[in-house]
């Protein structure tokens, strides 16, 4: 979504884009348009909300790993 131009209309309104000031604790969180998540602005959750009901997991696509130590009865 970020790489497409689907939200370009909102992002081109430069007076509505937030630029964090120097020293802002989390500058990445403050960047972007004030229209984010407004009606008509597409975000990842909009896509996943539609696809979520048809997504399924596959039992052959993951690996189970275990870590630990094995010692003999003598503790060696």
DSSP string computed for 7-69: THHHHT-GGGEE-PPTT-TTHHHH-EETTTTSTT---HHHHHHHHTTT----TTS--------
How many domains does the structure of the chain reveal?
A: 1
In a domain, 52, yes or no: yes
> Could you list the residue range(s) of the whole structural domain that residue 33 is in?
1-69
In a domain, 7, yes or no: yes
In a domain, 29, yes or no: yes
The closest of 27, 26, 25, 49 to 37, measured between CA atoms, is: 49
In a domain, 48, yes or no: yes
In a domain, 74, yes or no: no
In a domain, 75, yes or no: no
| pLDDT at residue 75, rounded to an integer | 64
Tens-digit pLDDT profile for the chain (76 aa)? 888 888 888 777 767 666 777 787 887 777 777 777 788 888 888 888 888 888 887 777 667 777 777 777 776 6
In a domain, 76, yes or no: no
């Amino acid at each position: 979504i970020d790489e497409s131009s689907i939200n370009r209309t909102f992002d081109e309104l430069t007076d509505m884009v937030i630029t964090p000031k120097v020293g802002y604790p989390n500058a990445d969180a403050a960047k972007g348009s004030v229209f984010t998540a407004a009606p008509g602005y597409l975000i990842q959750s909009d896509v996943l909300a539609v696809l979520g009901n048809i997504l399924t997991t596959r039992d052959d696509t993951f690996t189970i790993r275990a870590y630990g130590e094995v010692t003999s009865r003598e503790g060696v």
